[in-house]
Amino acid sequence: MKIIADDTIPYLKGIAEPVADVVYLQSKAFTPEAVRDADALIVRSIDKCTRELLEGSRVKLITTATIGFDHIDTHYCEDAGITWKNAPGCNAASVGLYVLAALTALSLKREEPLRGKVLGIVGVGHVGRIVEKLATAIGMKVLRNDLPRADLEGGSGFVSLETIAQEADIITLHVPLTRDGRYPTWHLANKDFFGKLQKRPWFINSCRGAVHDTAALLQAKKNGQISELILDCWENEPNIDRELLSLTSIATPHIAGFSADGKANATRMCLEAIERFFHLHLERIGEVRPPKPAQPVIDLDHWDKHRLEQAVLTCFNPLRVDQRLREKPEQFEYFRNHYEHPREFSAYQLLHLREEEKELAKELGFADDQR
């Protein structure tokens, strides 16, 4: 069989080769001619799987190393008998790490503790649950909005988008991008939504750029309806709005889900889908794992105060990525493709934990102190 894979998907090379002819292509090289004789594709969100690409090919399975699948024409695939599989939850912990690190960086800059703030989470699926867990651990009050879940589970425990707008100190979006169906999310955060904000909240989008309306978001920031703006996802990527970039507190090139752990999870899930679909056994799939951090031990005695906050930022500090993007925004896609994927909290051991820090360190997912 033949597999065509995006050449930027990590930890993949050498794993499927014992049972398949694997060809690695740059995104721009995904053409109808290139994929015509492929049995399966392994893609990223930048690889658009459209009718134009797929028609006339022998592709039977598309696996995407992403949670989202709006880059796949699912309606055409269903009509053409092409199965597609995404990787739900693969990078949930990574996005949770991003949100916590961004909030931590802002709270230290503003000298405002996060404890006691009201966090409104829009979309409480794989990612939203992780964000809720971390926020609760550090003492935030959480408001949850998720209309599909509320329909299935009942309204208890969920609030309306209007309640989020009125009561939240911080609002974070974690929904898929959908344009149709019962609950479309395209431009969910629009002029009407921003007009209902009551507390000049911090606003975070780390799901999909078109979930917010750029024009409305710009106006809301200029009008002071939003006090701090954290953006990882942008409309029209990689051609991001320069004025919006200038107004952000933290700006990153769509890398929130790019932890090494999340990448390994996604690659593994793609390979497992290929195993199931084609009834194969990939003996080397266990080798799909990220390398250890260069410095896996964090000594908390380096800091006198905000010790766990500093440990979080040691694992991932979004301000470093932010600086590079501001200096050269035209290299948005380059920064994505050449990103140094951080490890998640579980890859780090904290030394010299104080008694009052141990429970929070455990809840955040850090490895146990061995000394």
Catalytic residues: 208, 237, 254
Look at the alpha carbons of 98, 100, 106, 108 in this order and tell me if their dihedral is positive or negative: negative
Which pairs from 24-32 meet CB under 8 Å and 24+ separation?
30/4, 30/6, 32/56, 32/57
Tokens read off for 365: 């997912």
Task: Give dist(CA 21, CA 75) in Å, integer.
Answer: 28
Please state, in angstroms and as integers, the Cα–Cα distance from residue 50 to each residue in 1, 78, 85, 101, 214, following that order. Answer: 22, 12, 15, 36, 26
Residue type at 185? T
Query: Do residues 188 and 138 lie in contact, with contact meaning Cβ atoms separated by under 8 Å?
Result: no
Tokens read off for 335: 């920064």
The number of C-alpha atoms within 13 Å of 268 and in the hemisphere containing its C-beta is 17
Nearest to 347 by CA among 318, 314, 302: 314
